[in-house]
Amino acid sequence: MNINVVYFARYREALGQDGEVLAGDFLTLDDVRRALLARGGEYALLAEQNLMCARNQDLCKLDEPVGEGDEVAFFPPVTGG
């Protein structure tokens, strides 16, 4: 299946891209994240404990199921003051 992956904020800057299409056998959003982590290097950012994510523009958790053509977004935790 193909998943559209989008990166925001410092993830986009560190990875040098807005997004990409990722092909593989994924059941959950965490499967997508783990496939990216396996690349090593800058993708280690996606191992952050407070990582935020969305599926098809709805905030969700890493156990969210994914399907063909879904958009998955990763972004760092939002801080405020």
Position 32 scores a pLDDT of 98
* Domain at 2-75, CATH class: alpha beta
pLDDT band at 79 (very low <50, low <70, confident <90, very high): low
Q: What is the pLDDT of residues 21-70, one digit of tens each?
A: 999 999 999 999 999 999 999 999 999 988 999 999 999 999 999 999 99
Task: Tell me the domain boundaries of the chain.
Answer: 2-75
Under 8 Å between Cβ of 65 and 72: no
Classify residue 23 as left (phi > 0), alpha (psi -120 to 50) or beta.
beta
Under 8 Å between Cβ of 9 and 75: yes
> Could you tell me the pTM of the whole model?
0.92
